[in-house]
Structure 1
Amino acid sequence: MKNILVLCTGNSCRSQMAHGYLNALLNGKAKIYSAGIETHGLNPGAVAIMKEDGIDISMHTSNNVDEYDGIPWDFIITVCDHARENCPYIPSKDAKRIHHNFFDPSKVIGTEEEKHTAFLKARNEIKDFCKKFAEKELN
C-alpha cells in the first residue's frame, strides 16, 4: 500500500480537499494523510464545498507534519508555495515529490457568493489535479 502525504500551510483547506478527493478516487489503493506546517483546524468553507460534491471531510483533523514522523512516504504533494518553501525536511529518500500551488479560497474577502465562487474554483482545480495524479501515478 502506498503512503501519500498532502502538505499545506495550515492543513485546513486545500490539503484537506485533496485528501478527500484522493481517498475517494484511489478507493483503498493508498493511505492518504494530510498535514500542515501549522494547524489551523478545518475550514468550514472547504467542508461545505466538498459536501456539495458528495465528499464528507467533516471528520478530518488538522494535523502537523511532525505527527507523521517515520512513515515511509511514496508521494509528498505540496499544495501551496508557502508549505513547499517552509516545510521542515521530511526524510524519505524514495518519495516522489510533487508540487502544485493551488489558489487559496480562504483568503478571499467579499460576499458569500464571492467566497463560494472562490471555494468552487479551488475545489475544481484540486479535483482535476487529483484525477490526473490518480490516473498517472497509481493506475
Structure 2
Amino acid sequence: MSQKTRVLFLCVANAARSQMAEALLRHTDPEHYEAYSAGTQPGEVDSRARLALEQLGVSTEGLHSKPLEVFDGQQFDYVITLCDKSAFECSTLPGAGEYIAWDFEDPASSRQVNAYRHCLQQIHERIKMFVLVKNKAKAPLQMLAPVTLFKCLADDTRARMTQLIVQEGELCVCELTAALEESQPKISRHLAQLRSSGLLQDRRAGQWVYYRLHPQLPAWVAETLNQVLKADDPQLAEDRLRLHGMRDRPGRSSLCN
C-alpha cells in the first residue's frame, strides 16, 4: 500500500475552519490522506462547528485544538491555511512540501444565517476539488487521445501557451502573462485545463509554479507539437520577444526528473 499524503490545516484558533477541514478530508478520502489541524493561537473546538459536522454525518471523534508547535519537525505534503492571518504567519513554515492558502470567512464573526453550515459547505466543496485534482495528478497518465490534444489547441490562448512552453521547456504564470499580454486569472484558468487534460505537468520551486509538457506523454504528442514549431508562426515570435524582454523574470533551478 502506498504511503498516505499528509495534510496539515491551519487557522488562528484551530476552533472551527481548520477543524472542519481536518474532519472533512478524513471523511472524504481516508484511504489516501492523513489529515491534521493546528492553530497559531489555539483555543477550544467550537461546539457549533462540531454540530455542523455531525449534521452532515461527518465524525468529530478526536478533534481538539492544538498549537502549531505540536508538529515541530514533522513533514507534510501539503500545509493549507484557512484564513489570511495564518497564511501570513505560516508562509515560511518548514516541513511543507507545498504551501496552499485558502481563505474562508470566520463563521464566529459572520452575520450570515447558518454561518457554520455555510462555511462547512464551502470548505467541503474545496476539499472535494482538492482530492479530485491531487488524486488525478498522482494517477498513472492514460493515453492522451488525439481529440483531446486538438481540443486543447483549438483555443488561441492555449495554443500560444503550449507552443511557448514547448519551445522554452517550462514557464510560470507570470512569464506567460507577460508574453501573451493576458490577465493572470485567464492564464491560470487555461493552464488548469491543460494540466487536467494531461498535457502539462507543474512543479513548485519556492513561490513559483512552473509548467512543462508532461514527461509521460505519448511520443506522437511531442512529435506533433515540435512539428507545429517548424511552421515559424509570427505570433509565436512576437510572444517570445515579449517574454525575453520581460523584466524580473523568475530564476529557476534545473528541470525536475
Distance 2:92 2:67 in 1: 13
Give how far 1:28 is off. Answer: 2.8
Aligned to 1:99: 101
Q: Which amino acid aligns with 2:123?
A: I
Matched, 1:8 2:11: yes
Q: CA 1:88/1:136 → structure 2, altered by over 3 Å: closer, same or farther?
A: closer
Q: Is the 8 A contact 2:91 2:99 kept in 1?
A: no
Aligned to 1:61: 64
Q: Which moved more, 1:42-51 or 1:101-110?
A: 101-110
Encode CA deviations 1:56-105: one digit per residue, 9 max, x unaligned. 2153110111100111110010011011112374212x611111101111
Encode CA deviations 1:30-66: one digit per residue, 9 max, x unaligned. 2111001011110001000111100121531101111
4+ aligned runs moved over 3 Å, structure 1: none
Q: Which amino acid aligns with 2:63?
A: H
Q: CA 1:135/1:88 → structure 2, altered by over 3 Å: closer, same or farther?
A: closer
Query: How many residues align structurally?
Result: 133
Q: Is the 8 A contact 1:47 1:58 kept in 2?
A: no
Distance 1:88 1:7 in 2: 11
Matched, 1:36 2:30: no
| Structure 2 stretches lacking a partner, 5+ long | 137-257
Distance 1:31 1:25 in 2: 11
Q: Which amino acid aligns with 2:132?
A: E
SS at match of 2:7: strand
Q: Is the 8 A contact 1:80 1:100 kept in 2?
A: yes
Which of 123, 130, 133 is the matching residue for 1:133?
130
Matched, 1:119 2:116: yes
| TM-score (ref. length: structure 2) | 0.49
Which of 59, 81, 85 is the matching residue for 1:82?
85
SS at match of 1:95: strand
| Structure 1 stretches lacking a partner, 5+ long | none
Larger Rg: 2
Aligned to 1:71: 74
Q: Which amino acid aligns with 2:101?
A: H
Q: Is the 8 A contact 2:27 2:59 kept in 1?
A: no
Aligned to 2:235: none
Q: Is the 8 A contact 2:11 2:17 kept in 1?
A: yes
User: Aligned-pair RMSD on alpha carbons?
Assistant: 1.7
